[in-house]
Structure 1
Amino acid sequence: MHTEEEFKEGQVLLFDKPLNWTSFQLVNKARWLIRKTYNIKKIKVGHAGTLDPLATGLLIICTGKFTKRIEEFMGQEKEYTGTFVLGSTTPSYDLETSVDATFSTSHITEDLIHKTTEKFTGSIQQKPPVFSALKKEGKRLYEFARAGEEVEIPTREVHISSFKITRIALPEVDFEVRCSKGTYIRSLANDFGKALDSGAHLSALRRTQIGDYKVDDAITLEEFESALSSHIKHN
């Protein structure tokens, strides 16, 4: 484990974010553990790219002077795996909200599913979910959504370099996606359902890679805490 000086100079920490944690909570916990371990009052700690609470996987956390590199990491291509549920939609496009509409899936074949992925590769226009942390008029979009207020969300261009279906067990479809910064996989789920003349929502999501950094090389919060403890014992 790193020394106090190394943390202050700057480190890139790869975490495997647990389910139901916000990215902010994980950053706060990591910062608290570093401060407590080395008895320091202040240290910069930040993350490079938010993961929703219902998503797991790679979260890059930077410390000290490396927090200046956060934008650099956020701009790199990301890889996700997960599951869409076909035939039903939710207002948040994932499991944060309950199913609000159901659709037929009887016309959906494996061939149609694979062919439909082609519509979503390359540069596409995407509308972010209304249940997201993006800001409009100084308020986060999910604040409008939870208040039941209508809000106009402009589409934006994102790039999907690869979109593969890895398992079909209707109504579930597993996928692997490589995409640019700013891509919402929840929106991809919703749009994919529409393109199938049905509906879909996201039921599981895991970020497996950011640039050259892989979740296979990440540590859990428990492992980080344990490594800090053993470092103190041996020094």
Structure 2
Amino acid sequence: MNEILNQKFGVEVEMYNISRSKAAQIVATTLTELTGVSWNYSLPGMHLDERRIYPVSDPTRHNVWKIESDSSIQARNAWERTELVSPVLTWEQMPLLQQIIRNLRAAGARSDPAHQCGVHVHVDGTGHTARSLLNLTNIMASHEQLLIGSIGIAPARMRWCQTVDQNFLLAVNARAPQSLRELEEVWYAAQTGHAYNVGHYDQTRYHMFYGKKAIMYPTFQTLIVQRQKL
């Protein structure tokens, strides 16, 4: 349990029915109210119409939340294709994340598979070994159908929430890699026939550990709806 509580993570929450400008204002206001520190947000940037939300006392803007555009979201207009991107968080900051989501929901934000919205959770990969990642793979493979059923992932979203690839599962257990490099070779060979491929929209990026040193769990399930609690 202590390992879980010490685990760092980050989230990306896709939503519609709220403009990026309004969402940035709500996130900044919520952070100011809950942290006791003044937060501000930047003007839209060239990259993804990005608004960076940062503590006024930190001019380096390292610890930032972001509101940005995601063209895959189906919304009434382009400026309501809104995505919240958190910084690296700890378990102690979960109430902060929850309140941000509640306040966005209260302001009208919605998120559901019908509008191509979902949630990505990035878990810190620090400390993982080839053995621990192999164990994680086998645990996920043995429980993922239960998770899919309990979360209620829409069939249309399974393209982005694929189950553990059976070719990889067989290959990695047969080889039982002893190093991360060996595990990397098995993964990319099973997926592409090549040793390494990290294109941003390459299909393997939703399973990739090596590019960002994090484990990514994409899920697509209604998150921000009226009366639903996070």
Q: If the length of structure 2 is used for normalisation, what is the TM-score? A: 0.26
Of structures 1 and 2, the larger Rg is shown by 1
Q: Per chain length, whose mean CA-contact separation is higher, i.e. which structure has more relative contact order (CA < 8 Å, sep 6+)?
A: 1
Q: If the length of structure 1 is used for normalisation, what is the TM-score? A: 0.25
Higher strand share goes to which structure? 1
